[in-house]
Amino acid sequence: MSSATAASKKGDEKHLYTVVVLGASGDLAKKKTFPALFGLYKNKYLDQNTHIIGYARTKMDRSTFEEHVSMNIKLKTDEDKAAHKKFLKLCSYQSGQYDQDSDFKRLEDAIREVEKASGATARLFYMALPPSVFISVAKGLKKNNYTEDSLVRLIVEKPFGMDLDSSRELAKDLGSLFSEDEIYRIDHYLGKEMVKNLMILRFANVIFGSVWNRHTIDNVQITFKEKLGTEGRGGYFDEFGIIRDVMQNHMLQILTLVAMEPPVSLGAEDVRDEKVKVLRFIPPIVKDDILLGQYGKSEDGKEPGYLDDKTVPKDSKTPTYAAATLFIENERWSGVPFVMKCGKALDQQKTEIRIQFKDVAGHLFTTLSRNEIVIRVQPDEAVYVKMMNKEPGLGTKTIISDLDLSYSSRFSDSVIPEAYESLILDVLNGDHSNFVRDDELDAAWKIFTPILKQIDNGEIDPIPYAHSSRGPKGVTEFVAKYGYTRERQEYVWPQHSEAGSAAGKDQK
């Protein structure tokens, strides 16, 4: 039986896993992987007998490892503290090289030992690794830690290559070792609550579903803003830039879910078929449809500029901000610009989707603002619909208002899970729907590779902007060029909550 068939057969049953975190001493493992595993353990989504083995090159004693695992775990209650104590007992660490069979063999001994104790029948390898060691680790695992007797699942993290060619190369190498069934390419935005809500908003509401097309929608904006610069990650970032870091993956995934046709079912392949289809309708981005920026010092001089980072070359032209417009050449979307904007070192942290409708036809009212549906991914999850209303009182003056579904007030008792918790749980359950398929990745790279080549060749200069500002000059004009029309009256969102202070304003 091929390993792929074995895996899918075994996937039908419930399994007890041994989790191996490769790159366990790194930032990602510390910030995301271990806290997510703990979250699942604490809430009993992870079998209470699941062992977790950390593996990395760094030598660490037990207490340093425990500190590393725990650094980003928040313990609010006594129950949390008790669970954390038990969780640590299930975690162990082993240092080893990423290209030595003898080290992977020692890892195998450790896995077998915990499997004997726990009775685990499945292995989850979490690759929280830099791209340079990716394939050598995959080879080491396949040769030394892969067994036909147990179910094997492999989580891989971006970057999945630098462009179409390198991504294909990586896919080929990885594909020769593990089957597509065994591979889970993580894009953690697919685990975010509001991103997961997109299909429900669209396909479970007649009032939204019926207007979701070029006849009523004028333009769509997807925005990702971060306050932090690239502090501490300059070296990595300089090789990639903001388009490869955020736009080609996180933002494009959001766009795909906003734009795809309804899938035949909620099954992973049906969903991913539709995602691939919509990506294939998008021609590569052209130079006229892109604007780049790079941050300098803040206006008060307190925050450093991108080039002040010692790990960044002094003459780097790597963009830390990008706005790009995509068009989807299909029946539903032809002519509707999808504007994606993303940047680091900006005035606020925010990810949102803003769908702006066309102007109302006719002449009954003046100073009408356009309807918008805004889906705020983070922070302060919300969906609000901007609409015109009669100003209460005598007369018939129109006023802009909203239907506001702010999660903090509507779902105040609900806990929103961390994206990584939700995605790791999907892997344990063998659900691929929120993971990137190989052909999806290929289609995504086709859209970006030509423009990335031009950027890498230094053909497009980034416009400087100050750290903590709204971004490079020209962004407002860029967005207006694609039809985005600002309100014709004063509007603030949200109206009544504390979040209605400056940070919560409906700032585009």
* Residues annotated catalytic, as ranges: 250
Whether omega for the bond prior to residue 464 falls within 30 degrees of 0, making it cis, is no
Residue number of the CB closest to ligand BG6 reads 245
Q: Give the bridge partners for 276, in sequence order.
A: none
* Binders of ligand BG6 in range 114-153 (CB under 6 A): none
In 3-state terms the chain splits into helix, strand, coil percentages (rounded to 5) of 40, 20, 40
Q: Which amino acid is at 253?
A: Q
Count of CA atoms in the C-beta half-sphere (13 A) of 195 = 26
On whether the CB atoms of residues 89 and 48 are closer than 8 A, the answer is no
> Given the complex with ligand BG6, which of 142 and 192 has the nearer CB atom?
192
The token duo for 78 is: 């006594």
CB of 168 to ligand BG6, least distance (A): 21
Site string for ligand BG6, 161-190 (x = CB under 6 A): ---------------------------x--
> Given the complex with ligand BG6, which of 188 and 354 has the nearer CB atom?
188
First to last CA, the chain: 55
CB of 503 to ligand BG6, least distance (A): 16
Total number of residues that touch ligand BG6 (CB under 6 A): 4
Is position 246 an interface residue for ligand BG6 (rule: CB under 6 A)?
Answer: yes
The token duo for 257 is: 């879910």
**What distance in Å separates the CA atoms of residue 129 and residue 220, rounded to the nearest whole number?**
34
On whether the CB atoms of residues 296 and 307 are closer than 8 A, the answer is yes
CB of 420 to ligand BG6, least distance (A): 9
> Given the complex with ligand BG6, which of 226 and 440 has the nearer CB atom?
226
What is the bridge-based pairing of β-strands 122-127 and 463-466?
unpaired
CB of 39 to ligand BG6, least distance (A): 15
Residue 159's nearest CA partner among 147, 171, 151 is 171
Burial 176-212 (b: 16+ CB within 10 A, else e): ebbbebbbbbbbbbbbbbbbbbbbebbbeeeebeeeb
Residue 134's nearest CA partner among 91, 94, 179, 185 is 185
CB of 188 to ligand BG6, least distance (A): 6
Question: Please, what is the Cα angle at 313 between 464 and 30, to 5 degrees?
Answer: 95
CB of 269 to ligand BG6, least distance (A): 25
CB of 226 to ligand BG6, least distance (A): 6
Whether omega for the bond prior to residue 494 falls within 30 degrees of 0, making it cis, is yes
> Given the complex with ligand BG6, which of 188 and 370 has the nearer CB atom?
188
Is position 381 an interface residue for ligand BG6 (rule: CB under 6 A)?
Answer: no
On whether the CB atoms of residues 219 and 336 are closer than 8 A, the answer is yes
Q: How far from the centroid of its chain's Cα atoms is residue 14's Cα?
A: 28
> Given the complex with ligand BG6, which of 188 and 272 has the nearer CB atom?
188
Give me the residue label for tokens 């479970």: 204
> Given the complex with ligand BG6, which of 191 and 263 has the nearer CB atom?
191
Site string for ligand BG6, 187-226 (x = CB under 6 A): -x-------------------------------------x
> Given the complex with ligand BG6, which of 231 and 391 has the nearer CB atom?
231
> Given the complex with ligand BG6, which of 351 and 449 has the nearer CB atom?
351
Residue 461's nearest CA partner among 307, 213, 292, 210 is 292
CB of 246 to ligand BG6, least distance (A): 6
Q: Which amino acid is at 184?
A: Y
Is position 245 an interface residue for ligand BG6 (rule: CB under 6 A)?
Answer: yes
Is position 441 an interface residue for ligand BG6 (rule: CB under 6 A)?
Answer: no
Burial 321-360 (b: 16+ CB within 10 A, else e): bbbbbbbbeeebbeebbbbbbbbbbbbeebbbbbbbbeee
Site string for ligand BG6, 64-93 (x = CB under 6 A): ------------------------------
Site residues (CB under 6 A) for ligand BG6?
188, 226, 245-246
